[in-house]
A and B are shown apart, each in its own frame.
Chain A
Amino acid sequence: MANPQEPNAAADVEMSQYLADRARVNEEKIKQDDAIIDQFGEYTYGWHDSDAAGEAAKKGIDEQVVREISADKHEPEWMLDMRLKGYRAFVDMPMPDWGVDLTGFNADDFKYYVKPVGKQAATWEDLPDDIRTTYDRLGIPEAEKSRLVSGVAAQYESEVIYNSIQEDLAAQGVIFVDTDTAVREYPELVRKWFGKVVPPDDNKFGALNTAAWSGGSFVYVPKGVHVDIPLQAYFRINTPNMGQFERTLIIADEGSYVHYVEGCTAPIYSTDSLHAAIVEIVVEKNARVRYTTVQNWSNNVYNLVTQRAYVREGGTMEWVDGNIGSKATMKYPACILAEPYANASTMSLGFAGAGQYQDTGAKMIHLAPHTSSTIVAKSISRGGGRSAYRGLVKIVEGAEGSSSNVVCDALLVDDFSRSDTYPHVDVREDDVSMAHEATVSKVSEDQLFYLMSRGLEEKEAMAMIVRGFVEPISRELPMEYALELNRLVELQMEGSVG
C-alpha cells in the first residue's frame, strides 16, 4: 500500500501552522463559538427547530410499520422482501452481550419513519425556512458555495430533502443521489449490490436498518473516473426518539476513485436517540475508495453502525473514522479483501468523555493471496469515559503473501478513565506477515512542564499534546474536517485541567 503520509509532509506543516494560527488569530471566532455553546448548553449543535412531522410519527416497529414505509416509498417487491427479511432477523437475533451496555435499550422507544417534506428541494432557497436555518447553522451553504465539496446530500430526518451535484460530475456519469431515489431510478445497479456486502441478517442492528432504512447516499463512479474533490453528506437527527437508519451504497467501478465524507451532528434531547446506519461499499478492480466520518452525536445517542467494503483485485479501501460524540458507539469498519492484491486501511479515533463508551475498531478479512491491511486505532479517554479497541484480522488458508499491521494507541488524560484492547487474530496460512502493537500512555507531568516552560498555558499545553496524539488521523481529513475535529477535541478537553 502506498504510504499516505509522505506526500502530506509539506501539507502537514501548513496544516499545523494553520491550526496554530486559527487557535490564536481567530480568538474572536472562538469566543463567538463559545457564546453559542453557552447558549445551547455544552453541545455546539444542541438546538432544535419546530417539528410538525416528527410529532405525528408513531413509536416502535412491527411488520406493519415496515410495510408502510415500503408502500409510502412506492418500492418494488424485492425491496419490501429485503426489508421483511431484515425485520425477521432483527426480531430473531439476540441483543449483543458484549461491547457497550445496551440494557437500557428498547426498540419500542424510537420512531422509525418520519417524513418531513412532501417533495425534494432542488435548491437551498426551496427548503422550508426552519430547515434552512438549521443547515445555515451547520455551515452547509457556505461549504457548498465555496465549492469545498463537489456534491452535498443533506439528510434531514428520514428523507434527503436537498441534493445537488456539480454538472461536470454528472457529465462524467457519476451518480450521487439519495438511496430512495436510486431504488427508483437505478434499480438494476441498486438491486445488484444492495444487501450483498451487509446481508439482511448480518447483525441485529444491521437487520433493523435493513427493515427500516430511509435516506442515505447512493454513489456510482464509472470506470476510470476520478472524483477529485470529496463528496459530502451531512446528517442530522431532529426529532426526539428518532431512529435514523440511513443506508449508503457506494460502487466504485474499475480504476475509479472517490472520497466520500460524512459528518454527523445531532441536537440534544432528554431521551435516548438511536442511529443505526449501514454503509456498503464495492471497490472494483484497481479502484480506490476513501470513506471519512467525523461523528459528533450528542451524548444521548446510541450509535450502532455497520460499515463494510468489498474489495476486488488491486483495489484500495480506506476508512477514516472519528468518533467524538454519542452515548455509546459500536462501530468496526470492515474490509473484505476478496481478490489478490486488494488492500485496505482503517484509521480511527475514539474520544470517550464523561458518560461515553466508544467501542470501536476494525475488521480485515483476507480471502485472497497478496492482500494487505493496516489498522491504526487511537483512543482518548477522560472524565471517566471508556474507550475500547475491538478488532479482527482474519487471514484464510491460501491467502499466501498477505500482510497485516495493527497499531493501537490509547491516551489516558486522567486517572479514572478506562481503555481496553480486544484484538482478535485468526490466521490460517503460514506465509503471511502479521504485526500488532499496542500502547497506552498518559499525558505526563514532564510533557506538560516542557511545553509550559516554553510559554504555553497548561490548558494549551494539554491541548497541544492531545492534538499531537490525534494528528495521524486529522492529517488524513479534508482541511475543514480536520479543523472541526481539532475543535471538537478541544471542546471535549475543556475542564480536564485544573
Chain B
Amino acid sequence: MHTLEIKDLYASVETKEGRKQILKGVNLTVKSGETHAIMGPNGSGKSTLAYTLAGHPKYEIEQGQALLDGQDLLLMTPDERAKAGLFLAMQYPVEVPGVSMTNFLRTAKTEVDGKAPAIRTWTKELTEAMKRLKMDPKFATRSVNEGFSGGEKKRAEVLQLEMLAPKFAILDETDSGLDVDALRIVSEGVNRAKEKDNFGILMVTHYTRILKYIKPDIVHVFADGHFVKTGGPELADELEERGYDEFMPEGASESALA
C-alpha cells in the first residue's frame, strides 16, 4: 500500500504580467487502488497541479509538500519522481523526432526500474499491450509522438502507463480530443493497467464523460487553485447537471477564465 499526500501546496508561474500564484493551498491524500477525479472549470489550476507534481520547471513551489510514502517529490528532479513511482499522462505530449517509440520505452523502463527489461518478455508484453490499445505495430518504429493524431498520442501515453507500472498515475485531460471509440479504448487501457498494478489515480478532467469508463471512488471540485468540494461519484452527476458556476470566483464566468 502506497500513499501520496499533498500538503498545503502553493505554486506560481511567471507570466507576461508578472508572477502569478496558481495553486493556493492544495491538500489531498491518495492511496493505492483509489481513483480520484479532479474536476473544475478551465483555468482553475488543475493542470498546473498535475505538472507541478511531475516537476515541470515552469512552476515554482512557494510552499508545501507532496509526500510519496513519506518522500517529498517536490525536492526531486522530474526523473527522480518517475523513479519514485509517479507517472503523468500529458494532455499535449511533445514530439521527439528520430527517437523510436521502442527505444524510448525501453530506455524509460530501464531508468524507472533501475535495470534493463529482459528482451524476450519485454517485446512480447509491448506487442500485446499495443494490440490491446489497437495501435498499429508500426508505431513501435515511429518517432516518439511525431505525426501522431491527438488520439494516437493519448494511446501512446496510456501505453507508457501500462509499461512503466507506476505507483501513482496522473491523467491530465486524457479524454480531451477523443471520439467515443477512442475514449473507450484508452479508458480500458487505464483500467487494465490499474487492475494489474493497483496504482492510485488522479484523473484531471473538465468533463464527466470519461467517468463513465473510469469509475472514480472520490470526486473533487477544484476552483481558484484549491479543492472546494469533495464527494462520492454522485458529485460528478451534480456537476454534469449544474456546471461549475457555483464554484466560480465572484464576477467571473467560465468563458472569461478559459
Contacts and interface: CB of A to CB of B under 8 A. Distances in A.
B208 interface: no
B56 interface: yes
B99 interface: yes
The 6 closest A-B pairs by CB, nearest first: A468-B98, A455-B111, A471-B98, A16-B103, A468-B99, A452-B78
A454 B116 contact: no
Nearest to A457: B79
6 contacts: A446-B94, A453-B81, A455-B83, A455-B164, A467-B99, A468-B143
Given A450-B96, A454-B160, A467-B99, A445 B57 contact: yes
Contacts of B102: 13, 16-17
B138 to A, nearest CB: 8
Given A13-B140, A445-B58, A468-B143, A450 B108 contact: no
Please indicate which of the listed interface residues B58, B77, B78, B94 has the most CB atoms of chain A within 10 Å of its own CB: B78
A481 to B, nearest CB: 17
Interface string A438-461: 000000111101111111111011
Contacts of B160: 454
Given A16-B103, A449-B78, A452-B78, A469 B97 contact: yes
Contact of B82 (A445, A447, A454): A454
A170 interface: no
Interface string B75-87: 0011101110001
Contact of B55 (A25, A453, A456, A460): A453
B104 A464 contact: yes
Most buried by A among B96, B98, B112: B98
A109 interface: no
Contacts of A24: 107, 110, 116
A11 to B, nearest CB: 10
A97 B193 CA distance: 64
A465 to B, nearest CB: 6
Contact of B104 (A21, A449, A454): A454
Interface of B: 54-58, 77-79, 81-83, 87-88, 90, 93-94, 96-100, 102-104, 106-108, 110-112, 116, 140-141, 143-144, 160, 164
Interface residues of A, number: 35
Nearest to B88: A453
Contacts of A16: 99-100, 102-103
Contacts of A453: 54-55, 78-79, 81-82, 87-88, 90
A467 B106 contact: no
A20 B107 CA distance: 7
Which of A12, A20, A464, A469 has the largest count of B CB atoms less than 10 A from its CB? A20
B43 to A, nearest CB: 20
Contacts of B112: 454-455
B107 A468 contact: no
Contacts of B116: 21, 24-25
A369 to B, nearest CB: 35
B79 A456 contact: yes
A254 B140 CA distance: 40
Contacts of B83: 455
A9 B81 CA distance: 34
Nearest to B89: A453
A446 to B, nearest CB: 5
A17 B106 contact: yes
B120 to A, nearest CB: 13
A437 to B, nearest CB: 14
A255 interface: no
Contacts of B79: 452-458, 461
Contacts of B58: 445
A452 B140 contact: no
A470 B160 CA distance: 25
B99 A465 contact: yes
Given A13-B140, A449-B56, A456-B111, A19 B81 contact: no
A471 to B, nearest CB: 3
Contacts of B55: 449, 452-453
A472 interface: yes
A252 to B, nearest CB: 31
B99 A464 contact: yes
Contact of B98 (A10, A454, A472): A472
B70 to A, nearest CB: 21
B93 to A, nearest CB: 6
A111 B99 CA distance: 45
B99 A454 contact: no
B93 A450 contact: yes
Interface string A2-31: 000000011011001101110011000000
A468 B97 contact: yes
Contact of A464 (B90, B107, B164): B107
A454 B112 CA distance: 7
Contacts of B87: 453
A50 to B, nearest CB: 44
B24 to A, nearest CB: 23
Contacts of A17: 102-103, 106
Contacts of B81: 453
Given A9-B141, A10-B141, A455-B82, 16 more contacts: A12-B141, A16-B102, A20-B107, A20-B110, A24-B110, A450-B94, A452-B77, A453-B55, A453-B78, A453-B88, A454-B79, A455-B164, A457-B77, A460-B111, A469-B98, A471-B99
Interface in A444-498: 444-447, 449-458, 460-461, 464-465, 467-472
A451 B116 CA distance: 17
Nearest to A475: B98
Nearest to A14: B102
B57 A449 contact: yes
Contacts of A469: 97-98
B107 A456 contact: yes
A21 B110 CA distance: 10
B108 A19 contact: no
Given A12-B141, A13-B141, A468-B143, A456 B98 contact: no
B94 A458 contact: no
A96 B102 CA distance: 47
Nearest to B102: A13
A447 B94 contact: yes
A455 B108 contact: yes
Contact of A452 (B82, B104, B141): B82
A242 B155 CA distance: 58
A16 B141 CA distance: 9
Given A12-B141, A17-B102, A20-B103, A454 B90 contact: no
A46 B81 CA distance: 40
Contacts of A464: 96, 99, 104, 107
A94 B36 CA distance: 74
